[in-house]
Amino acid sequence: MDIRDRILIIEDDRSIRNFIRAILEANHYDVLMAEEGTQAYSLITSRCPDLVILDLGLPDMDGMKILKKVREWSAMPILVVSARTHEKDKVEALDLGADDYITKPFGASELLARIRTALRHYRAIGQLPDGRMGGTLVAGGLTIDYDKHRVYVDGADVNLTQNEFKLVGLLGRYAGKVLTYDYLIREIWGPNMDKNNRILRVNMANIRRKLEKNPAQPQYIFTEVGVGYRMLDPD
């Protein structure tokens, strides 16, 4: 299955929106678009994009408000794009949890580089000796390749679906640490998803069938009963 990162563009200026969309689509991103804040926030909560490109000057609200609301429940990467050149706005956006800030006008290669960096940082599993963030996690026979969106067990691709990959990727990012059911549901399905754990359990059962030799005695993803799941410590 071809898994592409989903990016939401929030921008009211049609020509800029189309410019960004063309760049992203040419680079195999799955693109969502919104031209005002209310619509944008509901797309964020219902479609849970992998990254958000946020214009601050929107017709119905200040983009900072969206940033603030999303940060109440998610660490998803948010790249602020704005015509504002004042230092004060940049500092405020970064303080509120923006991952990066680009000032208009900007070029395609700059935008793509910022996106790749923000995604990599979000998924970072460790810093390599040369200072780059590593894009691969290895834990026993399990390998997660974050750049290619692939998970391998003993070298064989296990063919996860988009949501299965997001779950395994998230557990991998915090390998060794327990992630609660609520946290996982919120990060993958958004804050409005029913808090009963059925959808999570179904996904986890499918993941285990693909990853584990014996799903009843997992080697890679463990259940902390009543709390959540934990991935094996990385090598």
List interacting residues with Ca ion (CB under 5 A). Answer: 12, 55, 57
CB 221 within 8 A of CB 174: no
All residues at 6 or more sequence positions from 232 whose CB lies less than 8 Å from its CB, including other chains: 139, 140, 142, 175, 176, 219, 220, 221, 222
Least CB distance to Ca ion at residue 17 (A): 10
CB of 11 or CB of 187, closer to Ca ion: 11
CB of 5 or CB of 55, closer to Ca ion: 55
Residue nearest to Ca ion (CB): 57
The token pair at 146 is: 């974050």
Least CB distance to Ca ion at residue 103 (A): 13
Number of H helices, E strands in the chain: 8, 12
Least CB distance to Ca ion at residue 96 (A): 18
The token pair at 177 is: 């640490």
CB of 28 or CB of 86, closer to Ca ion: 86
Least CB distance to Ca ion at residue 86 (A): 15
What is the residue whose two structure tokens read 């692939």?
A: 150
CB of 10 or CB of 23, closer to Ca ion: 10
What is the residue whose two structure tokens read 């969502």?
A: 32
